[in-house]
Amino acid sequence: MNTLFQTEPAVLVLEDGTRHVGRAYGSLGTTLGEVVFATGMTGYQETLTDPSYAGQIVLQTAPHIGNTGMNDEDPESRRIWVAGYIVRDPSRVVSNWRADESLDDALSRDGVVGISGIDTRAVTRHIRSAGSMRGGIFSGDAAAIDAEEQVRLVREAPQMAGQNLSAAVSVAAAEVTPATSERIGNLAVLDLGVKQATVDNLAARGFDVHVLPQDVTIEQIRAIDPVAVFYSNGPGDPAASGDHVELLRGVLDEQLPFFGICFGNQLLGRALGLGTYKLPFGHRGINQPVLDKSTGRVEITAHNHGFAVEAPIDGEFDSPNGYGRVEVSHVGLNDQVVEGLRALDIPAFSVQYHPEAAAGPHDANYLFDRFRDMVVAHLEKKNA
């Protein structure tokens, strides 16, 4: 293991000048990004390989990280995407029969600069009070850079607001995963940072899953003769994704059934004519309570988002862009944030969280069944 007993210095610097001195973890050097915290006590491999974290320095609120190592079966994508990684106590040994390598080796392999040995609780409380902000990790020789220069570099880094990161995480060419149950038809998935568990869940519902590049056109979607369209999770500001919104409006105009998650929820909101805004510190973790208004059931769900949709929580309202009646289907119980949208006059719905939820929880997995049932009902109506 490269960094088990790492003694190289490291410092976390926030844009307001706050500094935390610790030890290097992973690669040595400098990294910049938006500092956010994730509250999951497990599933760090899925967090690290979630493309939605591109451009972000992720702090784990759980104090002990790395004890189960990393394996070749659980990655959610082809690489680690976080811009940087912050942990309090990295495990000195790997204790799991499934492990293929240590977490610190994986971070070093993918060039991820991290820091350990700092008071992560203090950083979390600061972000909760002041809001997510830009930060930088400086380790090895970079830790000795003048403190004022480090702050200057952090403040010159781009804000997350206004960034379109879809091209950085999307596939370059279409990839197809065949259905693993009774086939329904082709599903067009716009890859804005899709996770493997999502693809697997869709294939298990009878879809031949066509994962398409983020710059695909409506004509290219039509060419695969899809029975429905799906927008994935992903990083960036939904207000900077106008092309994806226009593409989705084309999908809705053609009455193709639509399901979106996370970033896809925000883009459905914009396609319907609603606004989006940046949350103070976002929702990231696997323990977020959400109310399904249609059933009254409270679900514990997995989240990773820093933006949300603006919409009235109660009652129906008309889509400003002419798509009929809409309602907020799910609400976050911590802060009353919109967590789902349902169009009542066209076959479209979305949620702000991750129903595939690897490594859990699985309370919201039924949404894939709801999507399958909506597509089947639409096809039956169309063919009647």
Question: Catalytic residue numbers?
Answer: 262, 354, 356
* Other Cβ atoms within 10 Å of 246 Cβ, number: 12
In angstroms, the CA 76 to CA 366 distance is 20
Question: SS3 breakdown of the chain: % helix, strand, coil, rounded to 5?
Answer: 25, 35, 40
* Other Cβ atoms within 10 Å of 223 Cβ, number: 11
User: What is the residue type of 100?
Assistant: D
Q: Which two tokens stand for residue 244?
A: 């994806």
In angstroms, the CA 215 to CA 138 distance is 35
Please identify which residue in the block is written with the tokens 């329904």. Answer: 184
Q: Which two tokens stand for residue 257?
A: 């059934």
Burial of 38 (0-12, 13-18, 19+ CB in 10 A): buried
User: What is the residue type of 381?
Assistant: K
Q: Is-contact 245 276, C-beta < 8 A?
A: no
Please report which residue ranges of the chain form alpha helices under DSSP H: 44-48, 103-109, 120-130, 147-156, 166-169, 196-204, 218-223, 242-253, 263-272, 366-383
Peptide bond into 361 cis (omega under 30): yes
In angstroms, the CA 47 to CA 80 distance is 9
User: What is the residue type of 31?
Assistant: T
